[in-house]
Amino acid sequence: MLQQTVGEVVRERAALHPGTEAYVYPEYGIRKTYKEFDEETDRLAKAFIGIGIEKGEHVAIWSDNKREWLLSQFATGKMGGVLVTVNTSYQSSELEYLLKQSDSTTLILGEEFKGSNYIDIINTVCPELKNSQKGRVQSAELPKFKRVIVMSENQYPGIFTWSEFEAFANDVSDEQLEDRFQSMDPDDVINIQYTSGTTGFPKGVMLTHLNVVNNGKLVGDTMNLTEQDRLCIPVPFFHCFGCVLGTMAAVTHSTTMVIAEQFEPKRVLQMVQDEKCTGLHGVPTMFIAELNHPDFASFDTSTLRTGIMAGSPCPIEVMKKVISDMGATEITIAYGQTESSPVITQTRADDDIEKRVSTVGKPHAEVEVKIIDPATGETVPAGVPGELCTRGYHIMKGYYQNEEATKNAIDPEGWLHTGDIAVEDEDGYIAITGRIKDMVIRGGENIYPREIEEFLYSHSAIQDVQVVGVPDPKYGEELMAWIILKEGESLDAEELRDYCMGKISRHKIPRYFEFTKEYPMTASGKIQKFKLRELSVELTQKSEV
């Protein structure tokens, strides 16, 4: 276990590999070495101190994968500010909730994202901003809130430009930074990440230096990362996938980060080719978009070796293509959740294809896992499904200002209850078969949607499939499959039913098939099954009227 703060990791890597490229933004021609990265984050850490941010103070950050985001992550790690990550798709009520619940004093933001004007939104949330002196906001709704910094040089009332913010570094000596740097402890909270809030209001997960540094290190170890590797990161920084499995895994191994501000499949393929990336991260929908891009065959991805597919279950056929068509022969699957900072289990580079496509691997070193009967709390034997629980260095400090939710998630013995249904095989590999709340009970039979999804993926015309349960007066629940077809393919419900007959049990054949072009998604690329379920209920009720 590394007993290091985020800042200590940056300094160590800069000393070990000063000339290795730390990060590249191909879209802007920006390239910086680890020595330069260390110097940049030192200067920005001074700016945070100079502008008045105390150790332990909460700094919210809201943008896509901009360079300022990356530098802020590691600069706060050098001076003790707690970075509160904001989902890029948030609108005014969600932003207001987060700023208030997290007690953030500061907001760093981009100007806009995919049609959302962030400046307009913050002015809606904090109308006092327009008439405030920069750094002296007094908000009736947000009593702790003081300052806003924009990642640009455009002037807005009450908001510091980026260079105005950076200039605060001039007022802080090396000794002042060193004092702050040395005052930090690996057990200090460094990051608050808000869960996506698929049930109730989002909760702020408190993660420490120890959590994220070691999780990043173990993720990179499992991928065999070194200073020779170049990791393409198109997944969002505001999510653990971006800022732990991405940036932290890279920095703990002196690996070069090749960063896409936003995901766009062709741009990512171009980056992999031009920057000779050896690793590529993505959720399954991203890999599907890359593989199905009409120009896919024109890009050379032969430098790829590794990467991580995570965020939602990986279809077997997609995994096979990432290995055969993209050349990422050592691609790994990682599984976890924000509350476990995030990775619990991961497949290994030398696992056979069967283990890599049918399981989420084995637990990381220093991580305990057990699978329990949710009804009794007793540990179940291998081969029996139950709820996955985990314990170790990686468990969050708790939910910010939400003791009750913390107690519901972490039991008195320190086990985090994930809410995921898992099965362990005789070799210790774990398969995730669904969420406890996704399980469909049809006529007394437990059905796991994942199993039916995997079967339907084997149809050559299907690009993506999601299966949900809908209420049924006779059986309690019935299955509905949402299908995305490959370009140029056609298929109807009757043909799909025929395809299923004799291959899967009759009670597992979906009663309803719905064809769609896209699924409701979170900003981090996860499919929102609860929304699909709501749509399914609406559709099935209409069809029965």
Whether 337 has a pLDDT exceeding 90, the answer reads yes
Q: What is the helix (H) or strand (E) element at residue 113, kind and residue range?
A: strand 112-113
* Count of Cβ atoms closer than 10 Å to residue 214 Cβ: 27
92 class by beta-carbon count within 10 Å (0-12 exposed, 13-18 middle, 19+ buried): middle
Predicted confidence at residue 505, as pLDDT, reads 79
Whether 527 has a pLDDT exceeding 90, the answer reads no
CATH class of the domain comprising 34-204: alpha beta
Predicted confidence at residue 179, as pLDDT, reads 98
Classify residue 444 as left (phi > 0), alpha (psi -120 to 50) or beta. Answer: left
pLDDT above 90 coverage of the chain, percent: 83
Mean pLDDT of 404-418: 96
**Residue 275 per-residue DSSP state:** T
Mean pLDDT of 5-30: 98
Q: Over the chain, what is the mean pLDDT?
A: 94
The tens digit of pLDDT for each residue in 283-314 reads 888 999 999 999 999 999 999 999 999 877 77
Whether 545 has a pLDDT exceeding 90, the answer reads no
Distance linking the first and last C-alpha atoms of the chain: 60
Question: Considering only 136-150, 252-266, 495-509, which range has the smallest mean pLDDT?
Answer: 495-509
**Residue 168 per-residue DSSP state:** G
Predicted confidence at residue 481, as pLDDT, reads 97
Question: Considering only 100-114, 121-135, 171-185, 502-516, which range has the smallest mean pLDDT?
Answer: 502-516
**Distance between CA atoms of 25 and 232, rounded to whole angstroms?**
10
Cα–Cα nearest to 21, from 31, 12, 8: 31
The tens digit of pLDDT for each residue in 166-225 reads 999 999 999 999 999 999 999 999 999 998 654 467 899 999 999 999 999 999 999 999
Outline which parts of the chain fall under CATH 3.40.50.980: 34-204
The tens digit of pLDDT for each residue in 415-448 reads 999 999 999 999 999 999 877 878 787 877 778 7
Predicted confidence at residue 442, as pLDDT, reads 85
* Count of Cβ atoms closer than 10 Å to residue 461 Cβ: 14
498 class by beta-carbon count within 10 Å (0-12 exposed, 13-18 middle, 19+ buried): exposed
* Count of Cβ atoms closer than 10 Å to residue 473 Cβ: 7
The tens digit of pLDDT for each residue in 355-384 reads 988 899 999 999 999 999 988 899 999 999
Predicted confidence at residue 447, as pLDDT, reads 81
Q: What is the helix (H) or strand (E) element at residue 44, kind and residue range?
A: helix 34-50
Cα–Cα nearest to 80, from 194, 216, 179: 179
Helices (H), 384-492: 403-409, 449-457
Provide Rg for the chain, Cα atoms: 24
Strand partners of residue 33: 21
Task: Decide which of 500 and 198 is more confident.
Answer: 500
Mean pLDDT of 3-20: 98
**Distance between CA atoms of 27 and 100, rounded to whole angstroms?**
35
What tokens appear for 338 in the block? Answer: 């924000």
**Distance between CA atoms of 309 and 264, rounded to whole angstroms?**
16
Print the SS3 string covering 375-408: CCCCECCCCCCEEEEEEECCCCCEECCCHHHHHH
Fold (CATH) for 441-544: GMP Synthetase; Chain A, domain 3 (3.30.300)
Residue type at 289 in one-letter notation: A
Outline which parts of the chain fall under CATH 3.30.300.30: 441-544
Predicted confidence at residue 200, as pLDDT, reads 60
Which is it for strands 440-442 and 416-424: parallel, antiparallel or unpaired?
A: unpaired
Confidence of residue 91 (pLDDT cuts 50, 70, 90): confident
Residue type at 260 in one-letter notation: A
